[in-house]
Amino acid sequence: MSSPRHVPVLLDRVVALLAPALGHDGATMIDATLGLGGHSEAVLTRIPGSRVIGVDRDPAALALAGERLAPFGDRFTPVHAVYDEIPNVLADLNRSSVDAVLFDLGVSSMQLDLRERGFAYAEDAPLDMRMDSTVGQTAADVLNTYAVGDLTRILRDYGEEKFAAKIARAIVREREAEPWSRSGRLVELLYAEIPAPARRTGGHPAKRTFQALRMEVNDELAVLRRAMPAAIEAIAVGGRVVVESYHSLEDRLVKQAFTAATKSDVPLDLPFVPEGSEPALRLVTRGSEKADAGEIEENPRAASVRLRAIERVRPDGPTSGPTRRRGEA
């Protein structure tokens, strides 16, 4: 069992971005990817009076995080859900909004550390990779049923694997002899199919394929595409959405959602912006923030992180008042 003491990526910066939204007593954050509860613990410890609704699709993660956060009593509320179900979570808790929503995307340390979950390629294990191991198809199901073209697509798009087509053909060929069930056999195939020069760069040769399978099994991009507008809609005035992503496609979806939410509908040739026509949200970060060399040395997972934040500055919908010229604060 993993120790619940992994330090989350960019923890201090994430808490600093959340703090302005959680500065009043009773302010509530949805930790949409609770995991082992590291971010939630930091928020509850450093921001007195704050509350956290911890959401995770993984029952094992909820149990571990619940133990870790038990000292905070009713300031922490665990919820078993997928993070695109934020509207349902709020409805079930009789809430219309929260003050912050945090996403730390990707696989959690606990899931990587538990061999039987099949996320890690360092040890032989069942090819599962479900974040909620009680529902849905497994990685083995994907490998045993997908056509060559579909396997090529997910390896290329989700794993950014140069040899996607070659690997996909080999997967289909090998399953004719024996269905896929264990990660060790898949790692052996990847070593055989990826040319030696390519294996010497870019980390472990199985990294990209395992990432692609995990994203497909858990439908991660589709879930994220639904979750971003739901999170933005959920925050009250002064509230913030903070997102850590580790994959270019994830970061692109976050950027698109934030850009759409902060875009003005006023024609560009209009010399002034009517009061109430300004975007209801503003970008907090300038582009995406990255980890510095010191953080990456301490936590290699930080190398690929992209951090973005957005804030609601006024309610949605028109308001009355004076007009403002373009460029005026």
**Residues that constitute the known binding site:** 37-39, 56, 83, 104, 111
Pair 39, 70: CB distance under 8 Å: no
With contact defined as beta carbons under 8 Å apart, do 78 and 92 qualify?
no
Alpha-carbon dihedral sign for residues 38, 225, 97, 22: positive
- Listed in order, strand segments (DSSP E) in 147-261 are 235-245
β-strands 28-31, 281-283 pairing:
unpaired
In this structure, what token pair is assigned to residue 249?
């496609």
Centroid of chain to Cα 224: 7
- Phi and psi based region of residue 90 (left: phi greater than 0; alpha: psi -120 to 50; beta: remaining): alpha
Query: Residue ranges for the binding site for S-adenosyl-L-methionine?
Result: 37-39, 56, 83, 104, 111
φ/ψ (deg, to 5) at 282: -135, 150
Non-local (6+) Cβ contacts of 310 within 8 A are: 232, 240, 241, 258, 261, 262, 281, 282, 283, 284
